[in-house]
């Protein structure tokens, strides 16, 4: 649908409008009594969310390209059907892009938008197309429900409509904005087991109750369903990420050197972000029986300290 059609079908005066970035991507611009938000149709990518009276909660790099086919650096990239580099069937599909095809798909359809009290609810759908088929994924349906308001709620429902089991990984690759990565503490992962991507994927246990950031961190925590809290004393706030049906939590900050190699990361952007990703990945990947579905849910909110 073009902007005119989207506006006619889903626009809500003063609350939901559609705009086009100079580079071509279309986004929903949202202003409710309790927040502002933006969602790009490509990838059904929530790029901005700011509850009224708060600083932005999602980090978004100013150097993001917003170009068809290019992933956005920030917000909530939606990762499906594999996480990171493809492992399952990688030999059959050697050109598989990192983090799957959903986050750059231009085939997402907005199917519903409406207010529920002060929250705006939007639903998106993605089904098989030439791109998904070229990577071996057919007969699936993704329904992505986004609710923006005082809180951000995300739900991804994956349906397997084929006659065979479907192995999938998924993630809300949420970039959170912080005052200073070296001043925050992250709670919720004490004694959790993780794969250390910065150390040859060795399995380790987090002994500390609070995670602090002193260098690059890239860790899928396995079998971990707990709530995460990010304490940001400079900004006198705590961001809470709560989730359901997600057994992996990924924590990521690239730090200076790696960030300098990312053309779409603004200078010093790495200092103002931390990814806290609700996921099912690696040994927590899901095998969906034929005819079944799986729903993963995450909720992000901000509290004053």
Active-site residue flag, 8: no
Residue 149 or 254 with smaller CB distance to ligand TA6: 254
Instruction: Select 137 or 172, whichever has its Cβ closest to ligand TA6.
Output: 172
Report d(CA 84, CA 80) in Å as an integer: 10
Q: Among 187, 157, 102, which residue's Cα sits nearest to residue 292?
A: 157
Looking at beta carbons only, is 71 or 288 nearer to ligand TA6?
Answer: 71
Q: What residue ranges bind ligand TA6 (CB under 6 A)?
A: 71, 84, 98-99, 173, 197, 218, 250, 252, 275, 277
Q: How far is the CB of 1 from ligand TA6 (least distance, A)?
A: 27
Angle ∠(70,75,81) on CA atoms, nearest 5: 60
CB 122, min distance to ligand TA6, A: 23
User: Of 151, 169, 173, 177, which is the active-site residue?
Assistant: 173
Backbone angles phi, psi at 164, to 5 degrees: -125, 160
Q: Nearest distance from residue 226's CB to ligand TA6, in Å? A: 18
Q: In sequence order, which residues have a C-beta less than 8 Å from that of residue 8 and are 6 or more positions away? A: none
Share in percent of the chain as helix, strand, coil (round to 5): 15, 45, 40
Residue among 159, 169, 177, 277 flagged as catalytic: 277
SS3 label, residue 181: helix
What is the smallest separation between the CB atom of 208 and ligand TA6, expressed in angstroms?
Answer: 20
Instruction: Answer left, alpha or beta for residue 191, where phi above 0 means left and psi between -120 and 50 means alpha.
Output: left
Task: Indicate the burial class of 85 (C-beta count within 10 angstroms; 0-12, 13-18, 19 or more).
Answer: exposed
Minimum CB distance to ligand TA6, residue 98 (Å): 4
Nearer to ligand TA6, 20 or 23 (CB): 23
User: 277 an active-site residue?
Assistant: yes
Query: Quick one: 1 or 262, whose CB is closer to ligand TA6?
Result: 262
- Please say whether the beta carbons of 194 and 221 come within 8 A: yes
Active site residues: 173, 277
């Amino acid at each position: 649908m073009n902007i005119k059609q989207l506006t006619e079908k889903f626009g809500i005066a003063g609350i939901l409008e559609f705009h086009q970035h100079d580079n071509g991507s279309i986004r929903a611009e949202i202003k409710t009594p309790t927040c502002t938000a933006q969602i790009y149709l490509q990838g059904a990518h929530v790029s901005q969310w700011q509850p009224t009276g708060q600083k932005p909660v999602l980090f978004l790099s100013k150097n993001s390209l917003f170009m068809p086919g290019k992933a956005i650096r920030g917000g909530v990239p939606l990762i499906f059907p594999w996480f990171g580099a493809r492992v399952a069937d990688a030999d059959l599909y050697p050109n598989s892009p990192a983090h799957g095809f959903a986050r750059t798909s231009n085939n997402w359809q907005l199917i519903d938008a409406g207010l529920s009290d002060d929250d705006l609810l939007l639903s998106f759908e993605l089904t098989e197309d030439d791109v998904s088929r070229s990577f071996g994924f057919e007969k699936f349906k993704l329904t992505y429900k986004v609710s923006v308001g005082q809180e951000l709620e995300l739900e991804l429902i994956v349906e397997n409509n084929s006659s065979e089991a479907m192995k999938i990984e998924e993630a809300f690759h949420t970039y959170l904005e912080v005052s200073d990565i070296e001043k925050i503490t992250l709670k919720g992962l004490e004694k959790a087991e993780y794969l250390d991507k910065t150390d040859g994927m060795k399995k380790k246990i987090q002994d500390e109750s609070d995670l602090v950031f002193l260098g690059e961190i890239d860790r899928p925590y396995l079998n971990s369903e707990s709530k995460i809290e990010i304490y940001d004393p400079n900004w006198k706030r705590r961001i809470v990420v709560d989730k359901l049906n997600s057994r992996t939590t990924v924590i990521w900050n690239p730090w200076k050197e790696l960030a300098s190699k990312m053309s779409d990361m603004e200078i010093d952007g790495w200092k103002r972000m931390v990814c806290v990703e609700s996921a099912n990945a690696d040994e927590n990947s899901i095998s969906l029986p034929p005819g079944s579905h799986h729903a993963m849910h995450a909720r992000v909110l901000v509290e004053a300290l």
